[in-house]
Structure 1
């Protein structure tokens, strides 16, 4: 437009070219195009060597459903006589593919969600803990956009049932439909395009008052909400270079991280709704079905009662469970070479209580984490007085307690009489001096009848009252003074020459 405006102003090709900074031939071309009624932006198509082959290229693109590679197309048309370069072929194939996709593009109708109607769940690869791969259960409540991530070890039906129960109890109700993939725990087969449900998952759905639905096979776009939840959870929870997250040492650390992740994403404003999912959940909870009081436990295995040793017996083998479950009922099942123990919490939610390797009869399988910390009785040897005489002795101080502990371990005779002598000795000397002497006697293992009095007298007249111990710098190697009995020279060994040593030999 600047070129045409300059020409209308000057009426000269060269003058307009000088004003606009272009060649005068360019000005002439645009003026002639306007005079012919053509649009100035319209480019003149130049003849190319590939102009004879677009029908064949379009045929190849259509036959391959837009998947054929440009280099394959180039080989085909070269065999037909094409002499141009591969770059020209790639450009033409890209144009043909764009036209092919434009006519077959998948069009989405916006999904208008309804409160209390849909929830979706899917699985994602979790981090590796102690050499074992974990799995992330990712659920997404459609209307409120509330996300739930639970770490698990496997995708068996009992695990899926416990995750469904935990999800429903976390959101505070049961939606009308549950949408998921066509895994064997949900769909056993497809007949004439109709999904055949697993009868066990149907029983689970009936227990909670919901309906299990599945997406189209190999079509994850039909449940994009849970797919997005999986993508976000893996980006934040799995240790990667992009998030610099440290590796998890225990499964409990991963559970805590999943809880923190859910609290974070559910407490920030969602991009689509402009509200926090936790706030919308409070509204949607009014439209959810009520939860059953007890979870569906039929899939968790056989029932066992936890005894007072905090163990259960399965096939003649005792397995430990957390001591908080003593005298409670749990459910145990085998999955491969592992025993999985499931318990029901006070709020009615099903939780995995323990997981053990399969054991052998006669050898219990125990986990130290299932028991409270044990008192170290060997180190906690604090004397406790049971009589007036014992109390009077122990009141002397910590040295008296140490003396009693060491004397009892050494089997000292007349220990009570010696305790009475120490109490009597404290009336002649100060209590601190007697207690310090008792401590010294305990360290040096001196428990004879007169040892305590000897130590007290020594400490009262000597400045250094602590027992002397030789350091590592002190050597026990004997000198050469014993050689005098064999008629050897008395000079030091260093003064003996090599000749003298040979003579002695």
Structure 2
């Protein structure tokens, strides 16, 4: 097949020479090719339109079309080839594949869906969908991806499950971040939203209907197997996963804790909502400020029935559920939380100013086995600090000023129940005036190690240490031994012999 430029050169060569063979020599092609293009131009046909040539597979074309139409374009070419081969076709599979591709293309062209652009209106549509999140400590997470259609404002919230209470918490949080309630909320047909379809009519989950009635919006779901009805939220999921889920492509590091993932989602929302959107040419945060005027007001209290049963947080930052104590963050002491069981886990939800949020999650336990997590409590104070001496008078300060040995002596003397501790402390301060404070402190440290707190023990140790001369250690020779000698046995029995004589 010649391209347009080559065809024009052939026709110009023929117009110049008026001969098929001469034009063929100028254009570098066969004279039959020149004749074909000149004849097509004379008949008013397109030079690029190829003439159909009879093929052996043409007699099976009707059967191929039947198979493709009946399978709605899903039948494979190798299956078609086996069917027509059994009918007598002797051609190759490559020919069959080419014809099947042509028939499928014709079928798609005849049944292609044509979409009308969705012109959104402010204050009407909120969409949400789920995306697979990163693993935290080997545990799966999900990403709630909400999208306000007109302003393109996005909200991404990480969660551990997709149960109805979690959906309610995410929906409430999204509405409070938006600052109002739209007229409709569009999502997928999950069991938490749609329990079944009867004659292509979605039957809503009655609990989600109660949630929608509380917030004053209508829950709508997309058509089954028709993702085009909520393409905006799916795009939000795709972008969120590309920026938040670690892969070999984005080179993101794994999140050590769930809190790090929450912080990353907040940063992502801040980034995408404050940059100019490609379609609207404005920032979603600025468009949201305009759309808020068309949103319904939010109820003051969230729909908390789905969060479970209420519990009051005790002074020790624990709640009691079925006779078992579970810890919650210590900031929630004397507040009300909601607790519910999800399988073998207890989920605790608290409602803050920006909406409900999961604050604790424990494995289900039995009475007598409380579930306490260290991260729910502030760092413990250093109890060893209570054993550090702190002076409360001038005498105590003078004694402790001698050094660490004095502090050790006081701690050990107190533990041993020594008598006349204060007088002995005054004695040590007096000795520091006769000797150096370092010598007295070393003597006090030695007394603390040896446990000597009696009268005059300190001055004996000090006198010994001050008068002690340091000498080099010596090693005894082979002739020296600590074994006592046997000279005392030399006179054994002599006295008895003298008495006999």
TM-score, normalised to structure 2, is 0.86
* Counterpart in the other structure of 2:100: 93
Distance in 2 (alpha carbons) for counterparts of 1:188 and 1:228:
26
Matched, 1:185 2:192: yes
Match of 2:396 in 1: 390
C-alpha change, 1:380 and 1:220, in structure 2 (3 Å) is: farther
Match of 2:149 in 1: 142
Are the structure 2 counterparts of residues 392 and 155 from structure 1 closer, same or farther at C-alpha, using a change threshold of 3 Å? same
The alpha-carbon deviation at position 88 of structure 1 amounts to: 0.8
User: Aligned-pair distance for 1:439?
Assistant: 4.7
- The residue that corresponds to 1:307 in the other structure is 314
**1:342-376 per-position Cα deviation (integer Å, ceiling 9, x unaligned):** 1121x161121211111211222111111111113
Offset at residue 257 of structure 1 (A): 1.3
Mapping of residues 128-167 of structure 1, within 5 Å: 128-167=135-174
Greater shift, 190-199 or 354-363, is seen at: 190-199
- C-alpha distance in 2, partners of 1:327/1:436? 53
Residue 56 of structure 1 is matched in structure 2 by: 63
| 1:220–1:386 distance in 2 versus 1, CA, 3 Å | same
The 5 A counterparts of 1:359-398 are 359-378=365-384, 381-398=387-404
Q: Is the 8 A contact 1:294 1:348 kept in 2?
A: no
| Structure 2 unpaired stretches of 5+ | 1-7, 487-501
Instruction: Name 2:434's counterpart in structure 1.
Output: 428
2:298 aligns with one of 291, 294, 297: 291
Structure 1: how far apart are the matches of 2:362 and 2:306? 18
Question: Structure 1 residues 2-11 or 310-319, which shifts more?
Answer: 2-11
Residue 285 of structure 1: how far off its partner (Å): 1.5
Shift of 1:4: 2.1
Q: Equivalents in 1 of 2:449, 2:22: separation in Å?
A: 114
What secondary structure, in the 3-state scheme, does the structure 1 residue paired with 2:372 have? coil
Q: Secondary structure at the match of 2:83?
A: helix
Give 3-state SS (helix, strand or coil) of 2:115's partner: coil
Q: Which among 229, 237, 241 is matched to residue 222 of structure 1?
A: 229
Tell me, in whole angstroms, the C-alpha distance in 2 between the residues paired with 1:173 and 1:27: 72
Q: Does the residue aligned with 1:129 lie in a helix, a strand or coil?
A: coil
Q: More deviation in 456-465 or 278-287?
A: 456-465
Contact 2:127 2:146 in 1 (8 A): yes
* Of 390-399 and 79-88, the range deviating more from structure 2: 390-399
SS of residue matched to 2:141: strand
Aligned match of 2:128: 121
Contact 1:304–1:329 under 8 Å retained in 2: yes
Match of 2:387, SS state, is coil
Q: Which residue of 2 aligns with 1:319?
A: 326
> 1:499 aligns to what?
none
Change (3 A) 1:257 1:80: same
Paired residue for 2:180? 173
Query: 1: CA distance between counterparts of 2:117 and 2:469?
Result: 94
> Relative to 1, partners in 2 of residues 1:36 and 1:218: Cα closer, same or farther, differing over 3 Å?
closer
Name the residue aligned to 1:353. Answer: 359
Cα distance in 1 for partners of 2:363, 2:347 equals 9
After superposition, the C-alpha distances for 1:111-137 in whole angstroms (9 at most, x for unaligned) are 111111110111122222222211111
> Following TM superposition, by how much is the alpha carbon of 1:193 offset from its aligned partner in structure 2, in angstroms?
2.7
How far the C-alpha of 1:97 sits from its partner, in A, is: 0.4
Q: Is the 8 A contact 1:295 1:348 kept in 2?
A: no
2:113 aligned with 1:106, yes or no?
Answer: yes
Which residue number corresponds to residue 341 of structure 1? 348
Kept in 1: contact 2:173–2:354 (CA 8 A): no
1:167 Cα offset (Å): 0.6
Greater shift in the superposed pair: 210-219 or 97-106: 210-219
- Find the counterpart in structure 1 of residue 288 from structure 2: 281
CA deviation profile, 1:201-253 (whole Å, cap 9, x unmatched): 22211221211111122322211111111222222222221222222221111
What is the alpha-carbon root mean square deviation over aligned residues? 3.0
Distance 1:173 1:481 in 2: 99
Deviation at 1:101, TM superposition (A): 0.9
Q: What's the TM-score once normalised by structure 1's chain length?
A: 0.86
CA distance in 2, matches of 1:111, 1:257: 32
Separation (CA, whole Å) in 1 of partners of 2:13 and 2:305 = 87
* Change in 2 beyond 3 A, CA 1:168/1:39: closer
Distance in 2 (alpha carbons) for counterparts of 1:20 and 1:155: 70
Native 8 Å contact 1:398 1:435 kept in 2? yes
Cα separation, partners in 2 of 1:157 and 1:10, compared to 1, 3 Å: same
2:177 and 2:354 in contact (8 A); partners too: no
Cα 1:38/1:188, change in 2 over 3 Å: closer
Q: CA deviation digits over 1:183-215, x for unaligned, max 9? A: 222222333332222222222112212111111
